[in-house]
Amino acid sequence: MAIIRQQDFIDSIEDSLQFISYYHPLDYVKAVEEAYNREQSQAAKDAMAQILINSRMSAEGHRPLCQDTGIVTCFVKIGMGVQWDKTDLTVQEMVDEGTRRAYNNKDNPLRASIVSDPAGARINTKDNTPAVVHIDTVAGDKIEVMIAAKGGGSENKSKMVMLNPSDDIAEWVVKTLPTMGAGWCPPGMLGIGIGGTAEKAAVLAKESLMDPVDIQELMERGAETTEEKLRLDIFEKVNNLGIGAQGLGGLTTVVDVKIKSVPTHAASKPIAMIPNCAATRHAHFYLDGTGPAELTPPKLEDWPEVTWEVGENTRRVNLNELTKESIQDWKVGETVLLTGKMLTGRDAAHKRIQTMLDAGDGLPDGVDLTNRFIYYVGPVDAVGDEVVGPAGPTTATRMDKFTDMMLEQTGLIGMIGKAERGPATVDSIAKHKSVYLMAVGGAAYLVSKAIKKSRVVAFEDLGMEAIYEFDVEDMPVTVAVDSTGANAHKTGPAIWKAKIEELDSIMQK
C-alpha cells in the first residue's frame, strides 16, 4: 500500500501547470516542425513559423505560450491500494489548491479566466479555480495524473452528435470541421470520443487529447484496429480540406487525430469531437509515495531553428497617421507590420460600449476610436521589466455582433483578432470600407514583444478585459478581410483544397 502525501499531490499539480504554461510537449513541436517543412502555402508556413518561434521563446523565457492560459482539466486515476496521509481535503480541493498556487505564481503569473455564475453575472474567480476534475479508481497502488490547460478558443469549437448506428463517423467529421472555423487555432489535434452515452463520449474525446502525437508512427506500422483505421482515414480527409494553419489555407490542419471508444447501446452511436489548439498543453505523471512528480524540462536544442523573415511585399504602416482612405488599397492576404498606437477591447468592453452608446452616453473618457484600430486581446499581467505579458489575439467572431455598431458609431477603421469573421460582419466591413487584420493565435509571447508601451485607458475594473492603449512596433498581421470584403478565410482554404486534389491526382498517375 502506497501512502501519498496531500502536499506532494498539490505541489505536483502546481508545478505541472507552471511547466505546461511555457513548455509545449516536444511531440507537438516536432509535428509542427514537420508540417512547417512540408507546407507550400506561404501564409500557413508563416503562421507555423510564428508558432514555433513563440514556442521556443516561451520555453526560454518561462512565460506563457498563449495569453489564454486555459481552464485546468485534470484526469486523476487513483490506485485501489493508495492511501492518503490526510483526509481533510478532497481530490477536487487539492487540484484547486495546486491550480490557485500555479496561477498566482509571482514569477510567472497565469491569466485567471474562470468565471462563476456562468449563466448570469459571470464573475472572475481570480485564481482560475475551480478546475474540471475527472476521478477514476484503478488497480494498483499509484496515482496517475493527466493534466491540461485547455484554451477557450479551441474548447468552444467542440461538437457532439448522436449518429445513427449505420452513419459514417469520418463523413460526419469532414462535414463538421469546416463549420468550426479557425478559432481553434490550427494546426492542432482532434480528440474524438465514440460510444458510451453522450457525456461519456465527451470525456473520452477530452482524455484522448492527453496522448502524444504519434500518427506518423501509426502510418509507418499500419493500422490494426478499427480506431486506428479511423484515425488514419480522418487524418487524411481532414487535411485534404485545405483549411491549413490558422484557417488561411494549406496542407496541414491537424497533426494528429486521437480516438477513444467504449461500448454503447445498440441504438446509439454517440460521437464527441474536441479540437486541441496551437497552445497544446498537457503533462502526465505518477505519484507512488516517494515524493512529488519530477517533470524533466526539455532541452532548448530540441526546438527547430526556425526564423521568420518579413517578405519583400510587406506593407509597413504608421497607425497614428491612418485614415479610412489610406487602408483602401490593402489587399487580402497581404502581410502588414503595424507601428503606433492601437486600443484593445474584447467581449466585456464591447458590451459596455454598446450599453453606453445605447444610453446616449458616448464613449468612456479617454477613448477616441476615430481612425483607430481595436485589437481583440486580454493580456497576461506583466512581470519584471515586461511592458505587458503574452498578448495574442482572441477569437474575433465573438465580437461580430458588436462590429457593425462599432464601425457605424465610433469612427473605428479596423480590427485585429484571430480567425474568421461571420458573413454579416464581412458585409459590414465592406459596407464601411474597413479592414479586419489577423494575428497568429498561439503566438502570444512573440506578439507581446512588439508592444513597447501599454496603459489602461478605460474600464480598469474589467481586469484583462479593460481597454488598453498599446504602442506597438512592427507587429505582424495579415489582411484577413479587406475593404472590398475579400475574405482570406474563405478563399485560402478553397484554393488549397483544389490544389491538394490536383496534387493527389498527379501522385496517382
**Which residues does 211 contact at the CB level (< 8 Å), separation at least 6?**
258
Q: Which stretch binds ligand SF4 (CB under 6 A): 82-90, 272-280, 404-412, 427-435?
A: 272-280
Q: How far apart are CA 260 and CA 152, in angstroms?
A: 22
By DSSP bridging, strand 132-138 and strand 143-150 are unpaired
Q: Is 493 in the site for ligand SF4 (CB under 6 A)?
A: no
Phi, psi (rounded to 5 degrees) for 282:
-155, 155
CB of 422 to ligand SF4, least distance (A): 18
According to the binding rule CB under 6 A, does residue 66 interact with ligand SF4? yes
Tell whether residue 182 is a contact of ligand SF4 (CB under 6 A). no
Q: Is 378 in the site for ligand SF4 (CB under 6 A)?
A: no
CA distance between the termini of the chain: 63
List 10, 29, 273, 277, residue binding ligand SF4 (CB under 6 A): 277
Q: What is the dihedral of CA 349, 352, 353, 356, to 10 degrees?
A: -160
Q: Is residue 230 part of the contact set for ligand SF4 (CB under 6 A)?
A: no
Could you tell me the sign of the dihedral formed by the alpha carbons of 457, 463, 465, 469, in that order?
A: positive
| Residue 264 C-beta: closest distance to ligand SF4, Å | 30
d(CA 290, CA 309): 49
Site stretch for ligand SF4 (CB under 6 A), options 137-145, 275-283, 290-298, 363-371: 275-283
Site string for ligand SF4, 183-212 (x = CB under 6 A): -xx---------------------------
From the CB of 32, what's the least distance to ligand SF4, in Å? 12
**Joined grid coordinates for residue 156:** 468552444
Site string for ligand SF4, 70-109 (x = CB under 6 A): ----------------------------------------
Strand partners, 147: 74, 283
User: CA–CA separation, 212 vs 303, rounded Å?
Assistant: 17
Distance (Å, whole) CA 187 – CA 314: 24
- When asked if residue 391 is in the footprint of ligand SF4 (CB under 6 A), the reply is no
> CB of 277: closest distance to ligand SF4 in angstroms?
3
390 binds ligand SF4 (CB under 6 A): no
Tell me the residue nearest to ligand SF4 as measured from the CB.
Answer: 151
Question: In terms of CB distance, is 16 or 434 closer to ligand SF4?
Answer: 16
By CB under 6 A, residue 442 contacts ligand SF4? yes
User: How big is the chain, counted in residues?
Assistant: 509
| Contact track, ligand SF4, 133-172, x by CB under 6 A | ------------------xxxx------------------
Report in angstroms how near the CB of residue 498 gets to ligand SF4 at its nearest. Answer: 27
Q: Which one among 68, 97, 386, 465 touches ligand SF4, defined by CB under 6 A?
A: 68
- 278 touches ligand SF4 (CB under 6 A): yes
Bridge-based pairing of strands 269-276 and 159-163 is antiparallel
* Complex with ligand SF4: residue 24 or 352, whichever CB lies closer: 24
Q: What is the closest distance, in whole angstroms, from the C-beta atom of residue 281 to ligand SF4 in the complex?
A: 8
Tell me the helices (H) and strands (E) count for the chain, helix number first. 14, 19
For the chain, percent helix, then strand, then coil, each to nearest 5?
Answer: 35, 25, 40
Which residue matches cell numbers 478499427?
226
When asked if residue 380 is in the footprint of ligand SF4 (CB under 6 A), the reply is no
Residue by residue, DSSP assigns 295-350 as PPPPPGGGS-----PPPTT-EEEEGGG--TGGGTT--TT-EEEEEEEEEE--HHHH
**Where on the chain is the footprint of ligand SF4 (CB under 6 A)?**
66, 68, 151-154, 184-185, 277-279, 392, 441-442
